Amino acid sequence: MKYEVTIGLETHVELATNSKIFCACGGHSSANEPNDCVCPACSGMPGMLPVMNKSVVELAVTAGLMLNCDINRYTTFDKKNYYYPDLPCAYQITQLFNPICVNGKVQVKTNSGVSEIGIKQIHMEEDAGKLVHDEWTDTSLVDFNRTSVPLIEIVTHPDFHSAEEVVAYLEMLKSMFRFGNISECEEGAMRCDVNISVRPEGATELGVRAEIKNMSSLASIERAIKYETARHIDALERNTEVLVQETRRWDDTKGRTFAMRNKETEADYRYFPDPNLMPIVIDDEWLNEIKAKMPVSAEEKAKEYADAGISDKEIEMLTAERNLCDILDEVVALGCSAKEVAAWILTDCAGILRKNALLLSDLHIAPEKLAKIIKMVNDCKINRGAGKRVLGAVIENDVDPEKYCKDNGLDVQVDQGFIEGVVDRAIENNPAAVSDYKGGKVKAFQALLGACMKELRGAGDPTVIKALLEQKLNK
């Protein structure tokens, strides 16, 4: 018999804000050690009140617009009650009754075609802390750095029918959110709960549902879905077990899921509206402001770059990293050509980073400095080789390009007259090479060119020098 698997996802995404959702603490990524980014508010001390971080609302709305959602103009927060040591107040502030975004949809492309996934809702909430088990003393320690870090939870309809679709959807979210500066989406910043059921093809009722909790790697999610599908089919076909609605946990090392709790022992979270947070009203003016600030999507960016003459291969590399696009755009705005800047970034910057065992995603360079270097090369103030040296110094030590040229003698005045003098001197001081060249030894030209370059110490455009030298020798 053929079976159909039905999957719905709940995806938690950590938002890239400067501070936590209800207090001024920095995000946990800035923490050096446990309980570094903690204040009385996010550690649950009595007397502190939550104060809403406006940029959380704006990022959530932006994410909702990206996923074609309706934005709820009146949105409220609720408290979800449960005891766990990593939850300092023993309640989580989340949205149950009036989530910020509803009724969205996205298209997901896989090898087997395009499918539409319905987004039921997106809501804002705070993250919990982390428990660290100390094997030595056999105690559990609590780290509140992650407590109150803002999250959005994206809930889909049960519209997925394969692990491939799920992975494609999550990859799409990841690149969309990274590119839109919604979330860094790094390891652990995107976590998924997978609701899965299996039924014989053509059946009208959905099968018994299992929820696999809290997975963060795409590989694990794929394996867990495949494992669960097989487990359900085994149960249906060979009665290996009686399926019950339950929550399960994926064990990556064992490669299987384990039951955590079933419907009877399910917790009652006793949700109720949080009286400490006023309802948020998103009026037209605010919504339009958010819309105006909507980041361009990677697709739009790619089209823009193609029009500017950048190659497909380069576009692919550039649009993989929002940071690169930002640098490129700013350098272009300072008067350089897009095509040229792309080459500087993808060839020269990449090479320097590689030497330092870094990736393009690690590129930090002031656009003004890159623009300066490109202009100095274009204006023949330095040659390309020297430009690369300056670039290395800028990336590694953030030096001032002009000052660096001066300090290292790269700023030789290289107008036509100066170069002519250098070429003349090279011919004058190397009579042997000149006569060798005139006698047909082509290699002697390289010696003369080298003499020019030596005196110019890397300044000047080699093609110009070459042409001048040739012209004078052949006179």
Partner 1 sequence: MSYYVTEIDTKGNIAVDDTLLVKDVLSTAGSHILEGFAPLFSAEVVERVQKAGYTVSGKANVGEFGLDLVGEFSNKAATKDGSLVGAAAQLVAEGSVKAALGVDLNGAPRRAAALSKVNFIKPTYGTVSRYGVIPCACSGEQVGVYAANIADLKQVLSVISGHDDKDGTSLQHDSYDYDTDLEVKGTKVCIIKELLSSADDSVKASVSAYAEKLRKCGVVVEEVSFDMVNAAQTAWQILMAAETCNNLSRYDGVKFGYRTPNYNNIDELYVNTRTEGLNFLTKATIIYGSDVLSKGRYNDCYDKSLRVRRLVVEQIKKLLGDFDAILTPVCSKAEYKPYDIAEAFTKVFDESRYTAIANLTGIPALVSGGVQLMGSYFDESLILSLAKCVERVSE
How many Cα atoms occupy the beta-carbon half-sphere of 438 within 13 Å?
12
> Does 46 participate in binding partner 1 (rule CB under 8 A)?
yes
The nearer residue to partner 1, 91 or 404, going by C-beta atoms, is: 91
Rounded least distance, CB 197 to partner 1, Å = 23
Rounded least distance, CB 302 to partner 1, Å = 42
Among 113, 202, 275, 431, binds partner 1 (CB under 8 A): 275
Query: Six-digit token pair at 201?
Result: 């093809």
**Distance between CA 360 and CA 324 in Å, rounded?**
8
Among 2, 32, 33, 49, binds partner 1 (CB under 8 A): 49
Q: Of 26-34, 79-87, 184-192, 309-317, which segment contacts partner 1 by CB under 8 A?
A: 79-87
How many CB atoms are closer than 10 A to CB 161? 14
Per-residue string for binding with partner 1, 123-142, x by CB under 8 A?
Answer: -------------------x
> Does 34 participate in binding partner 1 (rule CB under 8 A)?
no
Rounded least distance, CB 31 to partner 1, Å = 18
Rounded least distance, CB 266 to partner 1, Å = 10
Dihedrals phi, psi of 444, to nearest 5 degrees: -65, -25
Buried b (16+ CB within 10 A) or exposed e, 416-447: eeebeebbeebbeebeebbebbeeeeeebbeb
> Does 26 participate in binding partner 1 (rule CB under 8 A)?
no
Among 48, 235, 427, 464, binds partner 1 (CB under 8 A): 48
Q: Of 230-238, 264-272, 324-332, 463-471, which segment contacts partner 1 by CB under 8 A?
A: 264-272
Q: Of 84-92, 217-225, 242-250, 413-421, which segment contacts partner 1 by CB under 8 A?
A: 84-92
Count of residues in contact with partner 1, rule CB under 8 A:
29
The nearer residue to partner 1, 48 or 350, going by C-beta atoms, is: 48
> Does 40 participate in binding partner 1 (rule CB under 8 A)?
yes
Interface residue list for partner 1 (CB under 8 A): 40, 43-52, 79, 81, 83, 85, 88-91, 142, 268, 270-273, 275-278
